[in-house]
Chain A
Amino acid sequence: MGLLDRLDNPYDTGGIVLGTLEDILNWGRSKSDWYLHFGLACCAIEFMSMNASHFDFMRFGIIPRATPRQADFIMITGTVTLKMAERIKLLWEQMAEPKYCISVGSCANSGGPYWQYGYHVLKGVDRIIPVHVYVPGCPPRPEAMEEGMMKLQSLIDQQAIFRKRKKLAEEEELLQIKQR
């Protein structure tokens, strides 16, 4: 418990943590995500155990919200039908920026078992809204959803808040170097 020791004895051990404002803001953001749960099929059943005491989703600092206005990210868990797709798009548009999306399960990722004859199924929720993290599985185990959540947290941690253009330029430069 290095950090906590430091806080208990601020003068003995230094008591100062150095970091950029951006890192601290992102740290706070990634550890207190509120989510809008869009449960559609068996993935949502798996998600119930995720929320219960065994897997305890709330230890990630997550609180379920009933309205898109208060949510930081939306979890699409299950088969997205065309009828529901329009509702999902509406909810996504109602969410405040910055917003993220986790697509859970094969159906939400790509249509899953309905990819060929599912005349009523949207073949991947990324056709209507941007998806940040895909969790594969049919349905995914709760551990997989935890992994997805940690992926989203690390994604938020690395996001640029200030000097976005500069960071983007740097990233592009890095990409170009890698491609060479």
Chain B
Amino acid sequence: MEVEDIYIKLKEKFGEAIIDLVNNPPSDPFINVSPEKLFDICLELRDNPEFDFDYLMCLSGLDYVDNLQVVYHIYSMKKKHKIVLKVTVPKENPKVPSIERIWRSADWHEREAYDLFGIIFEGHHNLIRILLPYDWEGYPLRKDYKEPEFYHGIRVPY
């Protein structure tokens, strides 16, 4: 199934929650999605036999200074088609519904995005830091991050 067909089918079902389709080759075409309906959209993509997306390839976080973005690369092993979803949330209140219950591979990916960007995935069963120490302050991959002077008495800057 082509991305345009998927977009039209999703638009019919979810209406306003599907914002737009952006297609500038050579980059992958992607669909902007509103965060409120994200869980239902992902569930539809997995469970509708027409889509049959059974594999979350990648979940990444992005920082656009004012906004934070989460990007989902989803693939269907059986139908061999692929889709990219993007969700944008404001930096002051970065809350995105967790899709960890739909694709289990999202579990650690969401923890990593939380660890480094501070995106809060609502509904995640164990949203704690995955790479950095548990007592780390701040989210290091954000553009406005300042590196700490000391960590447990060890000087950090060069």
- Give chain A's interface residues, CB within 8 Å of chain B: 82-83, 85-86, 110-111, 115-116, 119-120, 122-123, 127-128
9 nearest A-B pairs in the assembled complex, by CB-CB distance: A119-B147, A115-B158, A123-B158, A82-B151, A83-B133, A119-B140, A85-B154, A111-B158, A127-B154
Binding site for A on B (CB under 8 A): 132-133, 140, 145, 147-148, 151-152, 154-158
Report the separation of the CA atoms of residues A123 and B158 in the bound assembly, to the nearest whole angstrom. 6
Task: Tell me what chain B mostly uses at the interface: helix, strand, loop, or mixed.
Answer: loop
- Closest B residue to A115 by CB, please name it: B158
- A80 smallest CB distance to B (angstroms): 10
Question: Can you list 27 A-B pairs with a CB-CB distance of less than 8 A?
Answer: A82-B133, A82-B151, A82-B152, A82-B154, A82-B156, A83-B132, A83-B133, A85-B154, A86-B152, A110-B158, A111-B158, A115-B158, A116-B158, A119-B140, A119-B145, A119-B147, A119-B156, A120-B132, A120-B140, A122-B154, A122-B156, A123-B155, A123-B156, A123-B158, A127-B154, A127-B155, A128-B154
Chain B positions within 8 Å of A86 at CB level: 152
Complex alpha-carbon distance, A28 and B152, angstroms: 39
Chain A residues near B133 (CB-CB < 8 A): 82-83
**Secondary structure at chain A's binding surface: helix, strand, loop or mixed?**
loop
User: Is the pair B132, A123 in contact by a Cβ cutoff of 8 Å?
Assistant: no
Residues of chain A lying within 8 A (CB to CB) of residue B132: 83, 120
Question: Contacts of A111 on B, CB cut-off 8 Å?
Answer: 158
